[in-house]
Chains A and B, each alone.
Chain A
Amino acid sequence: MVKRLKKNERGIALLAVMVGIALMTIIVVDFATSTQFGFMSAANQVNELRSYYLARSGVSVGLALIAAKDRDAVLNPTPGQAMIDTLGDRWAAPYSPADIDGGKASVVVVDEARKLNINGLLNSDRTVNQLALARMQLLFTILNLSPDLVSAIVQWTGPSGLSSSGMFNVGLVPPRNGPMPTIGDLKMVPGITDAIFNRLRPFLTVVPLGDNRININTAPPEIIASLDPSLAEDTKLVEAIVQERTIRPFQQASDFTVGLDPAVAARIMKLGFNMQSQFFTIRGMGSFAGTRKIIDATFARVGPTGTYGLVSWQED
């Protein structure tokens, strides 16, 4: 009995050291874990930065694509023909994401002239442009949205006298009472929900000011249909127009109106349309190790030789 006790006593130093080491191990492991969290958050920031630069390189590629078009037009001019922008152009072709250094970069270029202009709803003297208003309402009907939303947009952008009293006092954000600087403004218009905004975004633009012409060579079927009520009802005709321009893009206004009913053609000519685009929105996307960055940059064609100016830059 006593001998056994004596034997046990010998381990006390070992026990003390082991307890000490165990405690210190816990502390060190805990510290290592929190260090790792710190390292991860730093690494995440680095990855976000990589995504950002991948997205920026996407924007640069898009800019090079649209500028290449202008350069081609200068180097190989087609006599007697004005330059036209079509969906057959290099910038309009879809590009699959490129693998760069373990990340992905991609680019989508969209011309703004294919969309209806929100800032064209009002004339330069701040009165409502009835032609543009009717066309916008027709587009909303085609998209299965309430045309009343168009009146809300007019009230939001128009002079303060246009808005009915008390309408905007409900929300905290007062109306713009001026042209929308970015498409993001649309979200603040009463009645425009996130779902409606996402539905409208491919069809609406805010540039340029004072020009309501759409590019008939790039406009989506919904926009072509919104040119005239007769087109809105005749989906087959719109399809035929889209098919025809893929084979042979419209070089001048008469190419488009030639097959239409003369009365419709006259109405459309009054609205005005174009075969060229002045503004291009380039969406550059970058992703790296679970982070992603999107940049929407809108460029304007400034000169005929491929000079572009940035008119809007939005990061997300």
Chain B
Amino acid sequence: MIPRTTIAAHRPGFTLIELMLAIGIMGLVFAMLASSFSAVAHGKIHGEARMEVDREGRAILWQLSSELASAVQTPITPSDVTLIGVAHQGSSGPIDTVSFATLNPGHRHSLTGIGPEDLVTYSLVRNPDAHGMYMLERTQQSALAAASASMGAAAPAAVILADNVLSLHIKYFDSQRWIETWDSPSLPANHQLPVAIAIELQMAAPNGHVMDFDTEISVPMAMLGGMPLPYSQW
């Protein structure tokens, strides 16, 4: 009866070649694993960041267009119709600002969604931390408070909606042609709003990608309104 230990002692060991081969193959396997692992991880981070920008851009466009669609114009009662669009040029395209009175501001103070008009402003300022990018700022305040300067109301605080905007281009359709700026106070009553508004927003996504968000909205008050007769003749 040979003891077990003797068998173990007689077992031949690995040669140097075998060991090197094994380590080499293992290294290869791990390297492949690591590279595919990092590719997946990188793809995930990149994809998520792009999706975040996509979500951000769509949310901004949605809010801006629903607010513009409810711009104030009341043919019966005199009201402060305001829609002032100014064109500016940025480092990589237009950086327009728009200021308007709307009945449907994104952040309503009351729950039922009904109240007097609010004055909303969208403007772009240079992002100090990122070259070539702009911060999209939005302010909102009661149009009544804005109209009465005697109240000495403090300027409303700006909310930064995004800090990676490359350009914002807003065009206005006056029922005949598209124009770059809009100035409602200089227009005749009941024709102070554009019939349609086009918005083009460009935002920077990681890895130098540029994402475009475009929309075109109609303004019901301008489309269907514009009463041909003053109220006294009805």
Contacts and interface: CB of A to CB of B under 8 A. Distances in A.
Contacts of B74: 181-182, 311-312
A313 B153 CA distance: 29
Interface in B25-74: 26, 29-30, 33, 36-37, 40-41, 43-44, 47-48, 51, 54-55, 58, 62, 66, 69-70, 72, 74
Given A17-B33, A179-B77, A302 B227 contact: yes
A309 B225 contact: yes
A27 B40 contact: yes
Given A34-B48, A41-B55, A176-B144, A182 B116 contact: yes
Contacts of B151: 174
B106 to A, nearest CB: 12
B186 interface: no
B76 A300 contact: yes
B103 interface: yes
Given A182-B116, A316-B104, A316-B113, 7 more contacts: A28-B40, A42-B58, A181-B116, A197-B114, A310-B221, A310-B225, A314-B114
Q: How large is the interface on B (under 10, 10 to 19, 20 to 34, 35 or more residues)?
A: 35 or more
Given A45-B62, A182-B103, A302-B229, A187 B70 contact: no
B115 interface: yes
Interface of B: 8, 26, 29-30, 33, 36-37, 40-41, 43-44, 47-48, 51, 54-55, 58, 62, 66, 69-70, 72, 74-79, 103-104, 110-117, 142, 144-145, 148, 151, 153, 220-221, 224-229, 231-232, 234
A33 B140 CA distance: 35
A24 interface: yes
A77 to B, nearest CB: 21
A223 interface: no
B26 to A, nearest CB: 8
A20 B37 contact: yes
Nearest to B25: A13
Contacts of B144: 173-176, 188
Interface stretch (A93-101, A127-135, A206-214, A262-270): A206-214
A188 B114 CA distance: 10
B77 A119 contact: yes
Contacts of B110: 187, 194
A185 interface: yes
A300 B103 contact: no
Contacts of A208: 76, 231, 234
A307 to B, nearest CB: 9
Contacts of A194: 110-112
A164 B203 CA distance: 51
